[in-house]
Structure 1
Amino acid sequence: MSDLDIPHQLAPILDALTPEQRAAALALGRVLVLAGAGTGKTKTLTAGVATRVALYGMVPARILCVTFTNKAAAEMRNRIVQACGDGMAPSWLGTFHALCARQLRAEPDVAHLRPGFDIRDADDTLTMVRRLIKAVPKEQLPVPVEGAAGDAKQIAKMAERIARLKEDLVTPEAAPAHVQGMIARAHEKNAFIDREGWLFAAGLYRQYQALLREQNAADFGDLLMWPTLALVHDTIYRDRWSRRFTAVLADEYQDVNRAQFLWLKMMSEASGELFAVGDDNQSIYSWRGAKVKFIRGFAQEFPGAKMYRLEQNFRSTGHILDASNAVISHDPARIPKTLFTRKGVGMRIETLGFAYGSEEAEAIAREI
């Protein structure tokens, strides 16, 4: 596409991009932007939204743009408004939970809820789990949970397990069989699993969800689980929602869990437009359900998808990038890319060792 075809209001945002960033922002269809650390991923994602509005004529209200934090959503909204003008930012721009809450508000029955339902936060969840555990006779509690009525750590563990089941799209009714399968797989691998604790969590989940429904309330896990299950299993619901959007864009794609991946896939089904930005080398949230396989398997999941690599780092010096490239090279499953910089080699890296965290903190403070 020649510069003559670029609308004047879009030119400044595209002119500020590198050739690789620009090519990615202009691409349509299933697009994966592999953006290394410090390579301008937010700028590229913002340009991708602005391009769809100002160049391809997509209506902002029909663009779905997902971020992981409210701060990132606000920053992106401001940049799009600066580039395209007031009213040009997607109205469906926000975090997974915010957008799914909006979707669930529109059709609460998919979660067995009534209009005007309440949303329970993490503290509310802990309070409810504590209340349910306290009602269980002590002799029926598994050994690790015996003191849970007054043990905040055990209460948090049970709440976390319920949340993990929801992230895996496991309903209360399916939880016992799902947990039995987890236990069987662990035994096959001779791996440790808290059998009694997980079985207890599965039963607790059913009671917890019943309490939520009685209160006409949803927790954070419900906001994503129920719309996603409806998208997967109800073709009419999926068609209705996916046809609302002409494009779906997602930030930090390396951090999506199974529910988030399926939600993005289903919501982009009608349009065939999924613009995902992320870096498999920055996937650090597996402990909370993120699965790096979704970004690494993007091309297999979406045959014909385009991939753009952003490798020019604008933040670090040469020594830092050489070290990070060397460390990352030991991961044989990574998507190949090599970061480079034009900032010079910089200071050499200094490695320090400490016996205790307090010593490390003191040394950092002295250095600063």
Structure 2
Amino acid sequence: MSATPAAAYPGPDLLGRGVVVGAGAPVPPGFDGVRRFVVDDEVAASPAALAAVLHHRWLRRQRFVLELATDNDALREPELTSAAPHTLPDDFAFHRERLHFLTWANSYDLRGSHPIWWHGELAQRRGDATAGTDADIILPDGRDAWVDGGPRGPLTGPVDAALVHRESVGLGRLTVQGEAAPRDALAADQLAAVTHRAGPARVIAPAGSGKTRVLTARLKHLLSDRGVERELVTALAYNTRAAQEMRDRTAGTGASIRTLHSLALWICNLDERRDVIGERDQRGLLDRLLTVARIPNQDPFQPYLEALTEVRLALRDPVEVEAVRGDVDGFAELFPRYRELLAERRLLDFDEQVYRALELLLTRPDLRRTAQRVGTHLLVDEFQDLTPAFLLLVRLVAGPSMQVFAVGDDDQTIYSYAGATPDYLVDFDRWFPGAEHHALEVNYRCPPAVVDAAVSLLGHNQRRVPKRIRAGLADDRPRATPVTGTSLVETSS
């Protein structure tokens, strides 16, 4: 282990690096007046509040001093819960894992006799980098480079060396961050969303405003212009048709594009592979578990299928579902028996993919880490149609960094039967703190009279994001952005 070069510490102000010191340690040089936080046993037991504060400072690259007055090994111990997904609060998160991530993501270790920048150390161990003098490392081509630990994206100004992100180093690579502009033809509001700098983002995209164009352009921008590794980026579509359209528009990029159910099934398969059954086989299983009256022209199993969806996608308690519906006698007892029968036969139905994936993410930290790697940068389409189960899935996969790029329109929620609500988009900051907001304002699909009528009608919605929508003019049409900036250079080991 080598010391961080004295000339490099504490790094450029733009990087916003903090320091971790031992219990009772004095303020280190260069950090006078910087806000100090203490992580002791009490904070480690209830970490949500401090994690929220540190998350905002990490996103904004604000330096901090963190006094580590608790056992770091205990702080980084993986979390799990055996609580059923439908019993968890809406804002459930593994806050201790968030706190540990934010403690070390962009901080020097000053607990010893000299400062250590662990991401630079890892770049030397896993890559072909050598210790730097004026920056963290020297790349194989001789350039100085900083290993950035902040939210991945362009800085607000220049630094005096190349940038390699800790995410790349974690993969054993030395990918120099690219800065080229998107190559897609984009209007001004679309370009602002696509070039969102870093951290979570909400993009309000009314009908006809270019939602899919923005989502796919953002995906290509991350992969081709900024050089984010494909293993770390996943785009989520609501259905297979939308997913295929996104694949067609990003052909040749190697982008990972899935439906929410496809992501859930992949997570389930990390544990064990099961056959996926359709509704006909579901009815067969219910027929084994239920004794119901056969009434002509009535489907005795449909209410139970709907009740299963309410528990597993809307995350409602089976007892509550049975009581409220009134047409699924014995459902509270049926629910665990039905799931046990699926497990015995190594089967998954459509909704069980999601519910089982949640259980695995909550109880298996090893699988959660694997899922969080592919969800390091998560792009989510039709965010307004997420059910409670889908929202929890997205938040667990997005992990402690919460780098979610969400596109949707709160005026177009259509799946409320499964618990979907525009609240998830309206209150986006509650689920993904520190998010930046972008709005697409031009409807390119409809003439002015139709747009004006729609705006008047939608204005009656009580829960919505205030928005401006107008018909497109000739000057609004998307234009290609001139290609500028530094192209991607990769020096991987």
The unaligned stretches of length 5 or more in structure 2 are 1-153, 158-177, 475-493
Match of residue 276, structure 2, among 112, 115, 119 = 119
Q: Which residue of 1 aligns with 2:286?
A: 129
8 Å CA contact 1:242–1:271 kept in 2: the answer is no
Deviation at 1:216, TM superposition (A): 1.1
Aligned length: 298
8 Å CA contact 2:313–2:418 kept in 1: the answer is no
Q: Which residue of 2 aligns with 1:285?
A: 415
Taking only aligned residues, the RMSD between alpha carbons, in angstroms, comes to 2.4
AA aligned to 1:24 is A
Deviation at 1:21, TM superposition (A): 0.7
Report SS of the residue matched to 1:277: strand
AA aligned to 1:306 is E
Deviation at 1:291, TM superposition (A): 1.9
1:214 aligns with 2:344: yes
AA aligned to 2:318 is A
**Separation (CA, whole Å) in 2 of partners of 1:70 and 1:194:** 31
**Bigger share in strand:** 2
Match of residue 302, structure 1, among 432, 439, 446 = 432
TM-score w.r.t. the length of structure 2 is 0.56
**Separation (CA, whole Å) in 1 of partners of 2:287 and 2:312:** 19
AA aligned to 2:300 is Q
Larger radius of gyration: 2
**Separation (CA, whole Å) in 1 of partners of 2:400 and 2:297:** 48
Cα 1:298/1:40, change in 2 over 3 Å: same
**Separation (CA, whole Å) in 2 of partners of 1:32 and 1:201:** 38
AA aligned to 1:123 is R
Deviation at 1:218, TM superposition (A): 0.8
Q: Which residue of 1 aligns with 2:294?
A: 147
AA aligned to 2:270 is A
8 Å CA contact 1:254–1:283 kept in 2: the answer is yes
Deviation at 1:289, TM superposition (A): 2.7
Q: Which residue of 1 aligns with 2:215?
A: 45
**Separation (CA, whole Å) in 2 of partners of 1:105 and 1:233:** 15
TM-score w.r.t. the length of structure 1 is 0.74
**Separation (CA, whole Å) in 1 of partners of 2:378 and 2:402:** 9
Deviation at 1:130, TM superposition (A): 3.4
Report SS of the residue matched to 2:438: strand
Deviation at 1:57, TM superposition (A): 1.1
8 Å CA contact 1:121–1:220 kept in 2: the answer is yes
Q: Which residue of 1 aligns with 2:189?
A: 20
Q: Which residue of 2 aligns with 1:361?
A: none
8 Å CA contact 2:307–2:321 kept in 1: the answer is no
Q: Which residue of 1 aligns with 2:455?
A: 325
The unaligned stretches of length 5 or more in structure 1 are 109-114, 184-192, 345-368
Report SS of the residue matched to 2:248: helix
| Matching of residues 8-87 of structure 1 within 5 Å | 11-13=182-184, 16-27=185-196, 28-81=198-251, 86=252
Match of residue 377, structure 2, among 238, 247, 257 = 247
**Separation (CA, whole Å) in 2 of partners of 1:79 and 1:244:** 21
8 Å CA contact 1:39–1:313 kept in 2: the answer is yes
Report SS of the residue matched to 2:465: coil
**Separation (CA, whole Å) in 2 of partners of 1:107 and 1:269:** 19
Report SS of the residue matched to 2:453: helix
Match of residue 313, structure 1, among 443, 448, 457 = 443
**Separation (CA, whole Å) in 2 of partners of 1:61 and 1:316:** 39
8 Å CA contact 2:270–2:367 kept in 1: the answer is no
8 Å CA contact 2:231–2:373 kept in 1: the answer is no
Deviation at 1:236, TM superposition (A): 4.9
**Separation (CA, whole Å) in 2 of partners of 1:194 and 1:271:** 39
8 Å CA contact 2:384–2:413 kept in 1: the answer is yes
Deviation at 1:131, TM superposition (A): 4.0
**Separation (CA, whole Å) in 1 of partners of 2:239 and 2:191:** 25
Deviation at 1:282, TM superposition (A): 0.6
Report SS of the residue matched to 2:452: helix
**Separation (CA, whole Å) in 2 of partners of 1:160 and 1:179:** 10
Q: Which residue of 1 aligns with 2:259?
A: 95
AA aligned to 1:158 is Y
Match of residue 310, structure 2, among 153, 164, 174 = 164
Cα 1:299/1:226, change in 2 over 3 Å: same
Deviation at 1:6, TM superposition (A): 5.3
8 Å CA contact 1:179–1:199 kept in 2: the answer is no
**Separation (CA, whole Å) in 1 of partners of 2:362 and 2:231:** 24
**Separation (CA, whole Å) in 2 of partners of 1:202 and 1:38:** 44
CA deviations 1:243-292 (Å, max 9, x no partner) are 34330010000000001001111111234310000000011221233122
**Bigger share in helix:** 1
Report SS of the residue matched to 1:153: coil
Deviation at 1:199, TM superposition (A): 4.2
8 Å CA contact 2:303–2:328 kept in 1: the answer is no
AA aligned to 1:54 is S
**Separation (CA, whole Å) in 2 of partners of 1:80 and 1:224:** 26
Deviation at 1:96, TM superposition (A): 0.9
Cα 1:235/1:11, change in 2 over 3 Å: closer
Q: Which residue of 2 aligns with 1:276?
A: 406
1:175 aligns with 2:307: no
**Separation (CA, whole Å) in 2 of partners of 1:272 and 1:290:** 21
Q: Which residue of 2 aligns with 1:200?
A: 330
Cα 1:304/1:11, change in 2 over 3 Å: closer
AA aligned to 1:157 is P
**Separation (CA, whole Å) in 1 of partners of 2:312 and 2:301:** 17
